Amino acid sequence: MADIYPDIKTWLQEKSIDTHASDYVLSPERRTESLRAVAENNFPTRKDEEWRYTPIANVVNRSIQSGTDLSIDADDLQEIKQIVPEACHVVFVDGQYSAELSDDLAAVAKQGVDISPLSEMNASQGQLAEAMVTNANFSDTNIFQYMTLGLVNSGLFIHVEQNTEVEQPLHIIYVNGPTKSAVVQTPVNFIRLGTNSRFTCIQHFVNSDESKAITIPADFFDLAEGSGIQSYRIGVESDQTDHISNSYARIADSARFVSHQYLLGSRLTRSNTEVLFDGEGAEAVLRGIYLGDNDQHLDIRTYVDHAKPNCMSDQHFRGILGGKARGVFNGLVMVQKDAQHTNAEQSNKNLLLSREARVDTKPQLEIYADDVKCGHGATVGELDEDALFYLQSRGIGREEAAQMLIHAFAAEVTQDITIGSLQPYILEKLDKKLSEISGP
């Protein structure tokens, strides 16, 4: 039977004393330390500069339930898997790894990639995971990271062997069944790429309309010399789901980190991506779209730390906001003192589709080296009247013309999707959602 707690604080207190220590996958010290931090820290308020535009009172005050019946519609799941049919599918239900619903991971190992659920990690993998957490130096440390680390009992440890190009993408699906109160899920993934290896990973957060959840995931990436990853994060959760994620990527010499984020669902999403250049000649490409309607609140934060010279970062995020939705972009490019010949670009464009929609954007640069090329730009506006008129004068209805323009606005980002079947899926989702937003 599911226990119900009035809010997340009460739930956390119970959970901390709880007996789950035996399930804990990182070191006992990590658990003690993280839980202490959870107890000591408060939830961020709008007085915290990094959370200025994202109030989380509604997340903190939700009633929580622990334990679920794990009932998942097999047909629905099959449909989700078919979005990337060629992929290796791994399924998490309410944050717990499901061997039954997932593909055979032993088969994947033949391609030179070791994918283990955290509960099956061996000692040396555990140490590596531990080290990744220790080395992650988040610029925005908050209680959610400590929660994830203090409670973690599921997720994946992924290691791609050196000089291996894994052709089959990994499709991680996070689903929830229908529940009465919110389920808290805190999956953590440790993704390590060996020298000159290549990997593609899709994280797909999806649940049914009746699902209530608070998703608090964390990802730790470690890219060795010359390696490259395409990392996708697709958020299409229900409007009763809150989602607060933290990702940290360390990139070594000549490695390439490409991140795509499509935030379409949830009630509130806060996505924090931090990148550390720990080697020269490396590249980070961050792409994203946030599309909000009704009362949705979508917040993207990025922090790109150019700690080494000769690296390139390129960020491009676009927001489309209708209804009473709010969008936030809060990005910072840090160029450290010795990071000469840095090339950093940061762009954020926003479309407001309704009178009640709102956007707050803060593209920031902090530069301590002189021989660098850094630029950023941001725009906010509505659909271009002239462009609408142009299309209308050619016999296209106003509604349809607006759809075309918004579609094109989004397509400039989606064109960078490298997985064939994923692009139509995203665009279809976008179009479907756009058609529900009342036109201008």
Partner 1 sequence: MKAEKENPKQLTEEQENLQKIADKEYKYGFVTDIEMEEFPQGLNDDIIRMISAKKDEPDFMTEWRLKALHHWRKQKEPRWTKLKYPDVPFDDLYYYAAPKKKDAPKSLDEVDPELLATFEKLGVPLEERELLAGVAVDAVIDSVSVATTFKDKLSELGIIFCPISEAIHDHPDLIKKYLGTVVPYTDNFYATLNSAVFSDGSFVYIPPGVRCPMELSSYFRINASKTGQFERTLIIADKGSYVSYLEGCTAPMRDENQLHAAVVELVALEGAEIKYSTVQNWYAGSKEGLGGIYNFVTKRGLCAGKDSKISWTQVETGSAITWKYPSCILKGENSVGEFYSVALTNNYQQADTGTKMIHLGKNSRSLIVSKGISAGKSSNAYRGLVKVSKNAENSRNFSQCDSLLIGDQCGAHTYPYMEIENPSAHIEHEATTSKVSEDQIFYLNQRGISSEDAVGMIVSGYAKEVFQQLPMEFAVEAQALMSVSLEGSVG
Query: Which residues of this chain interact with partner 1, rule CB under 8 A?
Result: 49, 53, 337, 340, 350, 352-355, 357-382, 440
CB of 47 to partner 1, least distance (A): 10
Residue placing its CB nearer to partner 1 in the complex, 83 or 320: 320
Which CB atom, from 26 or from 335, has the smaller least distance to partner 1? 335
Q: Of 52 and 407, which CB lies nearer to partner 1 in the complex structure?
A: 52
Is the CB of 298 or the CB of 357 nearer to partner 1?
357
Residue type, 166: V
Closer by beta carbon to partner 1, 283 or else 345: 345
Place of tokens 């490298």: 418
Amino acid, single-letter form, for residue 328: V
Q: Are 249 and 279 in contact (CB under 8 A)?
A: no
Q: Pick from 23, 25, 247: which is nearest to 156 by CA?
A: 25
Closest distance of CB 118 from partner 1, Å: 39
Contacts of 286 (CB under 8 A, 6+ apart): 258, 259, 261, 273, 275, 302, 304, 313, 314, 315, 316, 317
Nearer to partner 1, 247 or 350 (CB): 350
Least distance between partner 1 and beta carbon 401 (Å): 17
Residue 119 or 340: the one with the smaller Cβ distance to partner 1 is: 340
Least separation in angstroms between residue 411's CB and partner 1 is 21
Note whether 344 and 316 are within 8 A (CB).
no
- How far apart (Å, rounded) are the C-alpha atoms in residues 185 and 151? 9
Least distance (Å) from partner 1 to the CB of residue 369?
6
Give the list of residues 6+ apart from residue 23 with CB closer than 8 angstroms, or none. 119, 153
Q: How far is the CB of 266 from partner 1 (least distance, A)?
A: 22
- Rounded to whole angstroms, how far apart are CA atoms 273 and 330? 11
CB 6 within 8 A of CB 63: yes
Distance (Å, rounded) from C-alpha 67 to C-alpha 90? 21
**Least CB distance to partner 1 at residue 190 (A):** 33
Amino acid in the structure at residue 266: S
Nearer to partner 1, 25 or 325 (CB): 325
Q: Which is nearer to partner 1, 30 or 306 (CB)?
A: 306
For helices 398-414 and 385-392, what crossing angle results, to 10°? 120
Query: Which residues lie closer than 8 Å to 104 by C-beta, 6 or more apart?
Result: none
Count how many residues are written for the chain.
Answer: 440
Find the shortest distance in angstroms from Cβ 410 to partner 1: 17
- Least distance from C-beta 420 to partner 1, angstroms? 35
Q: Considering the complex, what minimum distance in angstroms separates the CB of residue 373 from partner 1?
A: 7
Helix axes 143-151, 8-17, angle to 10 degrees: 40
Q: Give the nearer residue to partner 1 in terms of CB position, either 368 or 390.
A: 368
> Is the distance from CB of 116 to CB of 125 less than 8 angstroms?
yes
Other CB atoms within 10 Å distance of the CB of residue 242: 25
For residue 70, count other CB atoms closer than 10 A to its CB.
Answer: 13
